[in-house]
């Protein structure tokens, strides 16, 4: 009879350790998940939020998820250019690689402008705009909210009358910068 008690104790101890380990591993997975989403958040913050989909993903956040979850390359963002690649490599501890030219080329910041006299009001560009920067209604003129436009060019292909143009934004007093001293 006396050997039963230590045996029971060992069993209890084993059960307790098992339960503890199970709990620990569960918290581990949840922190992993937290870590992943935090990393996605950090990568997303580095991306320029142009939402142009040139990287092959439908927007900046999906690309950020792909970088973290599917080990996607960090050189697929033409609007971000070299700066984004450097920032991402600093963040993720990966080497700096040149921009993937298949995704696109680096361009100066642009904004879309609709030639309102040509627009037929088809609403196709409104549906294409990833940041809801175009206002208008069916068979009525459309216009771009300049401040919200990211210059992603996604409105260009659907336009049936080619009335959208991308221009370098006009310099305003608010974003004028002092020249760099010699």
Partner 1 sequence: MNTLLNTLATRLGFHNQQPPFSFHGGLPLNPNKRALGESIVEPPLPPYLIIPLINYAKQSLTPTVAVGDSVRRGQLLAAGVVAPTSGKIKAIKPHATIHPDTLAVNAIVLHCDGEDKRGNPSASDNPQELGGASDNLSRLIKLRSSGKQSQMQQLVDQFALSGLGGAGFPTAEKLLGNTTPVKTLIINAAECEPEISCDEALIQSDAIDIVKGIDAAVQLSQCDQCIVAIEDSKPAAIENLQSALKDKPTAAQLMIIPTRYPTGAESPLIECVTGKYIPHNQKPTDHGVVCINIATALALWHALDNAPLDSRVLSLGGQSMPNPCNVRVRFGTTVNFILHSTGNNSVVNDHRIRAGGPLSGFDLQNLSVPITAHTNCILAEPRVEITDAQACIRCGQCADVCPARLLPQQLHWHAMADDLNGCKQFQLDACIECGCCDLVCPSSIKLTETFRYAKSQARFRDTLELKAVAAEQRFTEREHRLEQRALARKRAIEERKKTIQSSSEPDREEIKAALARARAKRQPKQSR
Contacts with partner 1, residue ranges (CB under 8 A) = 44, 48-51, 59-61, 130-133, 147-148, 150, 171-181
The string over 115-147, giving b where at least 16 C-beta atoms fall within 10 Å of a residue's C-beta and e elsewhere, is: eeeebeebbbbbebbbeebbebeeeeebebeee
Q: How far is the CB of 63 from partner 1 (least distance, A)?
A: 12
Nearer to partner 1, 119 or 126 (CB): 126
Q: How far is the CB of 147 from partner 1 (least distance, A)?
A: 8
Nearer to partner 1, 86 or 120 (CB): 86
Q: How far is the CB of 60 from partner 1 (least distance, A)?
A: 7
**In this structure, are residues 45 and 92 in contact, taking their beta carbons and an 8 Å threshold?**
no
CA distances from 65 to 29, 31, 169, 177 (A): 18, 17, 31, 35
CA-CA-CA-CA torsion sign (7, 12, 17, 19): positive
Nearer to partner 1, 48 or 104 (CB): 48
Q: How far is the CB of 135 from partner 1 (least distance, A)?
A: 13
Give the whole-angstrom CA distance, residue 80 versus residue 94: 17
| Nearest partner of 105 among 81, 84, 70, judged by Cα | 81
Nearer to partner 1, 75 or 150 (CB): 150
């Amino acid at each position: 009879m006396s050997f039963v008690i230590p045996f029971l104790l060992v069993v209890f101890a084993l059960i307790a350790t098992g339960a503890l380990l199970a709990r620990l591993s569960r918290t581990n997975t949840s922190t992993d998940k937290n870590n992943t989403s935090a990393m996605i958040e950090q990568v997303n913050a580095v991306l320029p939020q142009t939402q142009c989909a040139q990287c092959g993903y439908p927007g900046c956040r999906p690309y950020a998820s792909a970088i973290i979850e599917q080990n996607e390359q960090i050189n697929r963002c033409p609007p971000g250019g070299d700066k984004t690649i450097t920032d991402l490599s600093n963040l993720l501890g990966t080497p700096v690689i040149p921009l993937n030219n298949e995704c696109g080329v680096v361009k100066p910041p642009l904004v879309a402008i609709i030639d309102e006299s040509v627009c037929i009001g088809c609403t196709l560009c409104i549906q294409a705009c990833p940041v809801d920067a175009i206002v208008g209604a069916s068979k009525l003129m459309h216009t771009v909210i300049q401040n919200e436009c990211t210059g992603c060019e996604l409105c260009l292909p659907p336009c049936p009358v080619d009335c959208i143009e991308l221009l370098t934004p006009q310099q305003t007093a608010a974003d004028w910068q002092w020249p760099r001293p010699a």
